[in-house]
Structure 1
């Protein structure tokens, strides 16, 4: 049985594994292989540990935990400064072998409920335009592309992202 809870310090390595494996699976053929191959759980865990203990941190990290520990992770918090009632899903990853089994929906639903409880009326997130699987997932969850775009650069390759939003 999978349940959602707040991430603890003990979850950092598992969450980094989920994120790195999630990136490498989701972005294969989209993000340059050199970038994906250079990702390591150790580097990600070091950065995550620094962020986890930063004072004044405004984001919230949740994990979906199964019988053997974390299997998914979501990070959310305030959206664009000045947009008072807009929350943002910063990241959502599930172990690749569990995609399609409801873990992502469970995490997203909990994040939506918590954002709404914090007074947010809208949730936004960014998706690489070529990540069709993620786009379908978010569209099924009620998100719609709002026409706003931005570019990210990975190993010298510029990739467009689309902003999605939905009411909470």
Structure 2
């Protein structure tokens, strides 16, 4: 599975993938106020701002998954329902870990919605360990939204 940099022409497609995936997996677990703020446009704006840190897997123009890095954080990882279980998420997370290690990150982290058991199992299978429950400041159009999440961490091997 080849992972590549996202193209600006793919933002609308990726925003739909993220919007649909987020509402399927996160909306049932999170406060209704946050769910109302998670509009298609909000995902489009966040992807536009993070384009240089976004990697995708899948055909040009129609990727089936993406990851976004932010500092030492694997900030986002989403895969379309059709591609789940196909190795796309594993390829994206391996790519993200390699990129973080190349930047000198020794311990990477990610936030997982409390109760998102499928994602938690995947992270653990990928070598990430639950470090605890923390309050994360979720980005919204109205400013930071304090949200209790599971924090996962992984020690990364230095590139040789």
Q: CA deviation at 1:75?
A: 0.4
Give the stretch that moved more between structures: 32-41 or 129-138. 32-41
Q: For residues 133-148 of structure 1, what are the structure 2 equivalents within 5 Å?
A: 133-148=118-133
Give the stretch that moved more between structures: 66-75 or 32-41. 32-41
Q: 2:93 aligns with which of 68, 93, 108?
A: 108
Per the alignment, in what secondary structure is the counterpart of residue 108 of structure 1?
A: helix
TM-score norm. by structure 1 comes to 0.76
Q: When the two structures are aligned, how many residues end up with a matched partner? A: 151
Alpha carbons 1:61, 1:75 under 8 Å: kept: yes
Q: CA deviation at 1:97?
A: 2.5
Gaps of 5+ in 2: none
Gaps of 5+ in 1: 54-58, 79-86
Q: Is 1:77 aligned to residue 70 of structure 2?
A: yes
Q: Is 1:48 aligned to residue 47 of structure 2?
A: yes
Q: CA deviation at 1:147?
A: 2.4
Q: CA deviation at 1:148?
A: 4.6
Q: CA deviation at 1:152?
A: 6.1
Alpha carbons 2:112, 2:119 under 8 Å: kept: yes
Separation of aligned partners in 1, 2:68 and 2:60: 21
Separation of aligned partners in 2, 1:111 and 1:46: 21
Per the alignment, in what secondary structure is the counterpart of residue 23 of structure 1?
A: helix
TM-score norm. by structure 2 comes to 0.80
Separation of aligned partners in 1, 2:28 and 2:84: 18
Per the alignment, in what secondary structure is the counterpart of residue 13 of structure 2?
A: helix
Q: 1:98 aligns with which of 76, 79, 83?
A: 83
Q: 2:148 aligns with which of 157, 160, 164?
A: 160
Q: CA deviation at 1:34?
A: 6.6
User: In the superposition, relative to structure 1, how do residues 127 and 8 fare at CA in structure 2: closer, same or farther (>3 Å)?
Assistant: same
Give the stretch that moved more between structures: 26-35 or 130-139. 26-35
User: In the superposition, relative to structure 1, how do residues 14 and 125 fare at CA in structure 2: closer, same or farther (>3 Å)?
Assistant: same
Structure 2 partner of 1:81: none
Separation of aligned partners in 2, 1:40 and 1:129: 21
